[in-house]
Structure 1
Amino acid sequence: MPVPRLVIAGATSGVGKTTVAIAVMHALKGRGLKVQPFKVGPDFIDPSYHTLVTGRQSRNLDPWLMGERAVVESFQNACKGADIAVVEGVMGLFDGMSGKDDFASTAHVARLLGAPVILVVDAAKAARSVAAVALGFVHFDRRLKLAGIIVNNVAGDRHAGYVADALAEKVRLPVLGIIRRGQRAAMEERHLGLVPAQELAQKRRKEIIGAAKYVQDQIDIDRLLGLCGKNPLAKATPQKQIPKRARIAVALDESFNFYYADNLDALRRSGAELVFFSPVSDKKLPAGIDGIILGGGFPEVLADRLEKNREMIKAVAKAAGEGMPIYGECGGLMYLTRSISGYKGEKRARKMAGLIDADTVMTSRLTLNYTEAQSDGPIFGSARLRGHEFHYSAIENIAGDSRFAYSLTRGKGVADGRDGFCIGDSGLAAYMHLHFASGRLAQRLVDSCAGYARR
């Protein structure tokens, strides 16, 4: 039976759609529903808040990274056992890969899922004009079902009356909520966006739940439930499980926690046993492993603790010297360079693993792109890759004899259209984050580790 679903979208970035989405998820869970959360786009951080609130692992839906079919199949597989699905959008509703169309936008994903859209509009600096904005969204794409509006950042009753009257006259979509500004906890932010939920202290987590309750009390949840879509989707391809053939250590702690849930699932289906460890706190790698994955995150924040944990650095270096496959993404790349410097203006370089003959320097400039590359190196072999890059750092002092695994056709990478430093003949680390939607890349990564296990 199709799972009821809806999409929470924003008129633009910064209108409060994450707060609204979390509030809706919290309210639905409070009614005894099993809520399956999703996030449109490649973001790692918002899903951690979804998971915190719902108790179910949030999934990313990104047509660029995954392809349209994989988006639908990931949605269907994740919804097993759920009563309702809530999808948080990305940026503005129609913002995608370019201005020519809305490919990879929230609207694109909503159409793929046959899901109605609840539009969040910020009224902080407008009143009647909010209706003009909403009316434009209603008429912009008639293929999309805009089901309702939530107005955020309203100053008081008088302001709310102006907005509600204008919407009633001009738009005639149900207004599901008018949210007053203030009295709610602002989510703590960092240079790449929100702080991942895994890092938040218990007190801060309670504040976020309190914010969700404050917002949900201003949303008509009963009416919202009545607007959910239930369109049937094409049947998902059954997911096959390969017997265990490699044991892989995955870094997971305050510094390394950017992982797509679908990636970890794909590795397990490809025959990997995943064991988790902390480069910050653990003194040694898990026993009996055949490979190491160092995901993205914020190694610059705890660079001092990573530097002091020389036992772990030596263990990783020893594994690399023995030819063990090592795969790093973004934060993992930074950890594998010689040093990290420049976080919050700090001049002293913190020594890292040094498996890559280059240094990481924090910058004030955001690098944010979808990426595309041809791989011709360890782990993935010859393959076309799609991914994304998202960081405030640069790789400098790159040794002249460095080997690169990726040739970029889209994106910045580490230097001159290249990304992916080769670590010996069996490892690599790159800025590019990959999604293992098809399972092909997960299969190759596990193949590399299984080959090491057989030696």
Structure 2
Amino acid sequence: MVAAPSSGQGKTTVATGLMAALRSAGHEVSGHKVGPDYIDPGYHALATGRPGRNLDPHLVGEERVAPLLLHGAEGADVAVIEGVMGLHDGRLGTDGFASSAHVATVTRTPVVLVMDVAGQSRSVAAVALGMAAYAPEVHVAGVVLNRVGSARNTAEIERSLERAGLPVVGALPRDDRLATPSRHLGLVPVAERDDPARLIAHLGERVARHLDLDALLSIARAAPDLDAAPWRPGREVVAVGAFGQRRPVVAMAGGRAFTFRYAETEELLTAAGCAVVTFDPLTDTALPPDTRGIYLGGGFPEVYAADLAANRALLHDVRAAVSRGIPTVAECAGLLYLSASLDGAEMAGVLPTEAAMTDRLTLRYPVATAAADSLVTRAGERVTGHEFHRTLTSPMAGATPAWHIDGEATGFASPTCHAAYLHVHWAGHPGLAQRFADAVHAATPHVTAAPPAARPPDPGDGGQVRDPLRHHGDRETGPGLIDFAVNVYDGGRPEWLERALRRSLERVADYPDPAPARAALAERHGRRRGEVLPTAGAAEAFTLVARLRAWRRPVVVHPQFTEPHVALEQAGHHVTSVLCRPEHGFGLDPADVPEDADLVVIGNPTNPTGVLHPAELVHGLRRAWRLVVVDEAFMDAVPDEKESLVRERLAGVAVIRSLTKHWSIPGVRAGHVVAEPEVIRALAALQPPWSVSTTAVDAMVATCSAAAAAEGRDRARALARWRGHLEEGLGRRGFDVVASAAPFVLARLGEGAHPMLRAHGIAVRRADTFPGLGGDWVRVAARPADRTRRLFAALDAVGPAARTATP
């Protein structure tokens, strides 16, 4: 055993290096660790090429320690045990129970002390002698000096130890390259290191050079035989299932975020007739095929929260599996992964709790009592375990707790799911493994939902849509095509706007100042300047909103302009989509919006349906904990801006406007947000300096003038006429048309109409890239009558085929 007077002396460095050095010398080595720690055994496994094992009397019972040592060391020439804390430090109040000395005693293992001697000389011998004499049943057989300095001081220490009867079996010089990085819960796990093999190799080389391996092997050979039989998982659990039957799959989380689990857990499940298959929640998009059980162990999901949240496909699959009753055990990190959110990043959402990092370390070694019958426990059953975390979860109202610990109810338990912070070593409580395996055998295999069907090829987009949420109307146009795909007003720009744009070029040598735009926009909307923020188009506004808070459950009402959805996903959020359905005229049913949504984005009028939601409906979406974002990009096209909220001072409501379409300036990114002053201040704090160009500022000022108001009303009336002509003609030809208040209409022309129209020189906007719509829908921009007649002529030419394809 490699032990020490205290933590921080270099036990892990020496023990791991010794394992690597002995293996390099041709020995088969097994690595073991006193205590519950998962991280050090990971380094041991890399050094030995065998699973790292834990020896913990508290977790498994004193009587199982020696059998587990023999099990782990089977076939090895030498076993190296790394101690925990100081040699005699154990569970508080128990006279050293579960200490390194306790394990050394029950396994009859000689001890080598590692001592950091930096800044010391003869006092090292006094400490070592005291450690050796404190408990005569513990055989301290030698000392390794760590971080030695000058040869003269090292010789002084060695002489003093020889006088104390303690041989020095090695002296490691200081080497900063041997430092192992740590963070909030100790060392960084080996699975997260960039090049752990190189570190292990260096440790092995240093130990081989500076420690007496022959002397250490002689100490190991002097250990007496143990009168115990090796632990056997097959004696602890009963195999379920008939001979030759296909083993049910238990999906066990692994990878960089889930590194904490005991090797015996997998061995017990395998002995019980299960097939354990590891999956990585960071990279795998689905659970393993035929999964019938899920085991989510410990790790560092808080370090990888954003990456875990970004893997939406797997989160959905896990949520579906657990929700439909696939037996699931989740310990600590697993509990966080099944929660609604972790530090604001959306997790699987299976458990009604939110988790967050805190400054407080929870470290305890308790006896826990099962609160109720559950997947793996029976009410009143007592187990030993450990907790080690810096996160906390919010109360799970109405849920059955997993455990009672020190009078506190903790965790979550049901007949199919058991989740808690408590880590339990199943070798010490094999009944838990048996019950889990029994449930796995009885479960129906989980079937991962099929991905959405591939979209039809689009001749206007190179034959395919690579990312539907990023597909915009400008991708549909091209040489020789009449443009009904882009929503830009088809009438040119007024002269006063042209002059303003040209004048802006005279000041492009200066950095832009958005203040005039803010003042003009505030006056136009009847708001205070502190309630308006000019932005580089609506797209920047959506990006700022996405970064505004750690949204727990952001909702986007679809079909909708997809930019808000994309911005939220780019910010690391998982988006909940609420669909407005064609059978209800694409109107929103407020009851479909989840009550716990803290962000709701809705278009008004909506792109691509053109539906204008009543202002009262939007009012009804407000909650004290929620921000409602209303995208009024096409409100300029609504006569008198009916149903707009831009002039209302409503708590929890932000309105986003864009000038690009109504004023035919999509190349000038000009938009703005109108909201409460505190929301505007928070958004402004996230906005990059000078993001709004001088040209955009001048465009905003110009379009707030009296001349612009008159011209804007004229444009709205013109659009209404064009749209009416378009709707009437489509309806007369038998196509379904959604009643629109926007400068476009959504029409159901049938599958195949989109490419057929392109073949006749007409570009319309495919609608199957909007969530909730299929390939039979297209969006058609309102255009002057002469152009619309050419659309009708093309429809008449392909109409029979299109109408035949219409469901």
Q: Match of 1:13?
A: 7
Whole-Å Cα distance in 2 between the matches of residues 47 and 123 of structure 1?
26
Contact kept, 8 Å, 2:21 with 2:207, in 1: the verdict is no
Is residue 344 of structure 2 the alignment partner of residue 360 of structure 1?
A: no
Decide which moves more: 63-72 or 376-385: 376-385
Contact kept, 8 Å, 1:19 with 1:212, in 2: the verdict is no
Is residue 147 of structure 2 the alignment partner of residue 153 of structure 1?
A: yes
Give the Å deviation of 1:211: 3.1
Q: Deviations over 1:229-288 (max 9, x none)?
A: 342222326553725553211111111120100111111112211111111111111111
2:295 alignment partner, one of 274, 277, 293: 293
Whole-Å Cα distance in 2 between the matches of residues 306 and 239 of structure 1?
33
Is residue 185 of structure 2 the alignment partner of residue 192 of structure 1?
A: yes
2:423 alignment partner, one of 411, 433, 448: 433
What SS class does the counterpart of residue 52 from structure 1 fall into? helix
Paired residue type of 2:263: A
What SS class does the counterpart of residue 258 from structure 1 fall into? coil
Paired residue type of 2:182: E
Q: Match of 1:205?
A: 197
Paired residue type of 2:427: A
Contact kept, 8 Å, 1:298 with 1:331, in 2: the verdict is yes
1:442 alignment partner, one of 425, 430, 433: 433
What SS class does the counterpart of residue 146 from structure 2 fall into? strand
Give the Å deviation of 1:350: 0.7
Q: Match of 1:346?
A: none
Give the Å deviation of 1:54: 0.8
Whole-Å Cα distance in 1 between the matches of residues 106 and 180 of structure 2?
30
Q: Match of 1:350?
A: 345
Contact kept, 8 Å, 1:39 with 1:89, in 2: the verdict is yes
Give the Å deviation of 1:52: 0.5
Paired residue type of 1:404: P
Give the Å deviation of 1:451: 2.4
Q: 1:207 to 1:75 in 2, by over 3 A?
A: closer
Q: Deviations over 1:379-398 (max 9, x none)?
A: 123121111001111112x2
Q: How does 1:183-262 map to 2 (within 5 A)?
A: 183-202=176-195, 204-228=196-220, 229-236=222-229, 239-240=233-234, 242=239, 246-262=248-264
Whole-Å Cα distance in 2 between the matches of residues 100 and 256 of structure 1?
32
1:407 alignment partner, one of 404, 407, 414: 404
Contact kept, 8 Å, 1:337 with 1:355, in 2: the verdict is yes
Q: Match of 1:50?
A: 44
Whole-Å Cα distance in 2 between the matches of residues 213 and 279 of structure 1?
35
Contact kept, 8 Å, 2:31 with 2:44, in 1: the verdict is yes
Q: Which structure dedicates a bigger proportion of its chain to helix?
A: 2
1:280 alignment partner, one of 262, 273, 282: 282
Give the Å deviation of 1:365: 2.1
Unaligned runs of 5+ in 1: 1-6, 342-348, 410-415
1:33 alignment partner, one of 10, 27, 33: 27
Is residue 302 of structure 2 the alignment partner of residue 309 of structure 1?
A: no
Give the Å deviation of 1:407: 1.2
Q: 1:340 to 1:358 in 2, by over 3 A?
A: same
Whole-Å Cα distance in 1 between the matches of residues 341 and 436 of structure 2?
26
1:182 alignment partner, one of 164, 175, 179: 175
Give the Å deviation of 1:367: 1.2
Contact kept, 8 Å, 2:20 with 2:203, in 1: the verdict is no
1:391 alignment partner, one of 386, 389, 392: 389
> Which protein, 1 or 2, shows the higher relative CO under an 8 Å CA cutoff with sep ≥ 6?
1
Q: Match of 1:413?
A: none
Q: Match of 1:378?
A: 374
Give the Å deviation of 1:307: 0.7
Is residue 93 of structure 2 the alignment partner of residue 91 of structure 1?
A: no
Q: Deviations over 1:365-423 (max 9, x none)?
A: 22111122111242123121111001111112x242222121114xxxxxx6122213x
Unaligned runs of 5+ in 2: 242-246, 447-807
Whole-Å Cα distance in 1 between the matches of residues 304 and 94 of structure 2?
41
Contact kept, 8 Å, 1:249 with 1:289, in 2: the verdict is yes
Give the Å deviation of 1:191: 1.4
What SS class does the counterpart of residue 178 from structure 2 fall into? coil
Contact kept, 8 Å, 2:105 with 2:138, in 1: the verdict is yes
Q: Match of 1:421?
A: 412
Whole-Å Cα distance in 1 between the matches of residues 84 and 233 of structure 2?
28
Give the Å deviation of 1:453: 3.8
1:128 alignment partner, one of 122, 127, 138: 122
Q: 1:23 to 1:399 in 2, by over 3 A?
A: closer
Give the Å deviation of 1:440: 1.6
Q: How does 1:39-78 map to 2 (within 5 A)?
A: 39-78=33-72
Contact kept, 8 Å, 1:253 with 1:280, in 2: the verdict is yes
Paired residue type of 1:354: G
Whole-Å Cα distance in 1 between the matches of residues 285 and 201 of structure 2?
35
Q: 1:450 to 1:100 in 2, by over 3 A?
A: closer
Q: 1:97 to 1:399 in 2, by over 3 A?
A: closer
Contact kept, 8 Å, 1:377 with 1:405, in 2: the verdict is no
Give the Å deviation of 1:184: 3.2
Q: Match of 2:624?
A: none
Whole-Å Cα distance in 2 between the matches of residues 406 and 165 of structure 1?
54
Structure 1 stretches of at least 4 aligned residues deviating more than 4 Å after TM superposition: none
2:98 alignment partner, one of 77, 81, 104: 104
What SS class does the counterpart of residue 274 from structure 1 fall into? strand
Contact kept, 8 Å, 1:246 with 1:446, in 2: the verdict is no
Whole-Å Cα distance in 1 between the matches of residues 120 and 294 of structure 2?
52
Whole-Å Cα distance in 2 between the matches of residues 208 and 256 of structure 1?
21
Whole-Å Cα distance in 2 between the matches of residues 239 and 451 of structure 1?
21
Give the Å deviation of 1:100: 5.0
Whole-Å Cα distance in 1 between the matches of residues 74 and 165 of structure 2?
35
Give the Å deviation of 1:149: 0.6
Contact kept, 8 Å, 1:185 with 1:208, in 2: the verdict is no
What SS class does the counterpart of residue 264 from structure 1 fall into? helix
What SS class does the counterpart of residue 367 from structure 1 fall into? strand
**Highest Rg: 1 or 2?**
2
Whole-Å Cα distance in 2 between the matches of residues 454 and 314 of structure 1?
16
What SS class does the counterpart of residue 217 from structure 1 fall into? helix
Whole-Å Cα distance in 2 between the matches of residues 282 and 449 of structure 1?
22
Q: 1:212 to 1:275 in 2, by over 3 A?
A: same
Root mean square deviation of aligned Cα: 1.8
What SS class does the counterpart of residue 285 from structure 1 fall into? coil
Q: Match of 2:734?
A: none
Q: Which structure dedicates a bigger proportion of its chain to strand?
A: 1
Whole-Å Cα distance in 1 between the matches of residues 324 and 342 of structure 2?
25
Paired residue type of 2:135: D
